[in-house]
Amino acid sequence: MTRPLIGITTDMGAAAWHDRVREAAVSPAVYARAIERAGAVPVLLPPVLLPGAAGRLATWLDGLLFSGGADVDVRCYGAAPGDEASWPDQARDVCELTLMRAAIETGTPFLAICRGLQVLNVACGGTLIQPQPDAAGPGRAVPGGLGLPAREVQIIADSRLSQILGASVTVPACPHHAVAELGSGVVATGWAAGHVAAAVEVPGHRFGIGVQWHPEDTTDMRIFAELRAAADASPQRASAAAAAAVAQSARR
């Protein structure tokens, strides 16, 4: 079979287009490269969602990567914007919250990174801290992490994340909004200094993990390899394989 398809959420932003600047769906290339290195095919998803499209995307794709970006609009979980609030991207918020709920409902494997963790928690009815306490370790850098400041994350035993990364991991700090109240069906499986939830999971889901750091900015690709493995074993892949077998048999 072909490699699994993993959708990556994107921003709408200005991009150079020959001799002009135009609006475009943009994504840091490190996300696509991480998915490619894991052995899957990256599919960029612009933040444009027609009614009913989320469920179709979640069942058509083998996996999803909810990428980083601007913080989720605090009004999505009933809070008032603070002085530090970034300019909200309401179209992206609506698109990704809808897609996240569809991924949970359909069992589509997903990895939610930084902003993606916010999306996961808010989609499940949770709230966020604004802004997140600074848990970066002064003077330290993550090995293979592009010189970014480090933070230590302790991982809960017997969690899916502990099976991938072990009992603890050093990661790049991600100074954005963090989990306040956990959403329904979401559990914290990683903790940083200051009692900040640095990782969450959806128990019982095929692969539903959110992390409050950027693994794509490090040389540690284990979590992407596990996402690819889960996508390889997704029901969508099984259905596609069965359909291909039937088609091949019919041609004989």
pLDDT tens readout for residues 18-36: 889 998 999 999 999 999 9
Which residue has better confidence, 60 or 144? 60
Q: Cα separation of 216 and 115, whole Å? A: 14
pLDDT attached to residue 16: 87
Marked catalytic residue, from 96, 201, 216, 226: 216
**Counts of helices then strands in the chain (DSSP H, E):** 7, 14
Torsions phi, psi for 121 (to 5 deg) = -65, -45
Residue 132 has pLDDT above 90, yes or no: no
Element holding 37 (H helix, E strand)? helix 29-37
User: CB–CB of 234/206 below 8 Å?
Assistant: yes
Q: Cα separation of 11 and 70, whole Å? A: 9
Angle, CA of 103, 32 and 200, to the nearest 5°: 40
Is there a catalytic annotation at residue 76? no
Q: Cα separation of 201 and 203, whole Å? A: 6
pLDDT attached to residue 50: 73
pTM of the model: 0.88
Q: At 135, is the pLDDT very low, low, confident or very high (cuts 50, 70, 90)? A: very low
| SS3 (DSSP) at 43 | strand
Marked catalytic residue, from 114, 124, 174, 176: 114
Q: Cα separation of 189 and 202, whole Å? A: 10
Residue 195 has pLDDT above 80, yes or no: yes
- Write the DSSP assignment of 129-174 as a string of letters: ESSPP--PEEEEE-TTTTTPEEEEEEE-TTSHHHHHH-SEEEEE--
Tell me the domains of the chain and their CATH numbers.
5-251 (3.40.50.880)
Query: What count of Cα atoms within 13 Å lies in the side-chain half-sphere of residue 102?
Result: 21
| SS3 (DSSP) at 69 | coil
Is there a catalytic annotation at residue 195? no
Is there a catalytic annotation at residue 216? yes
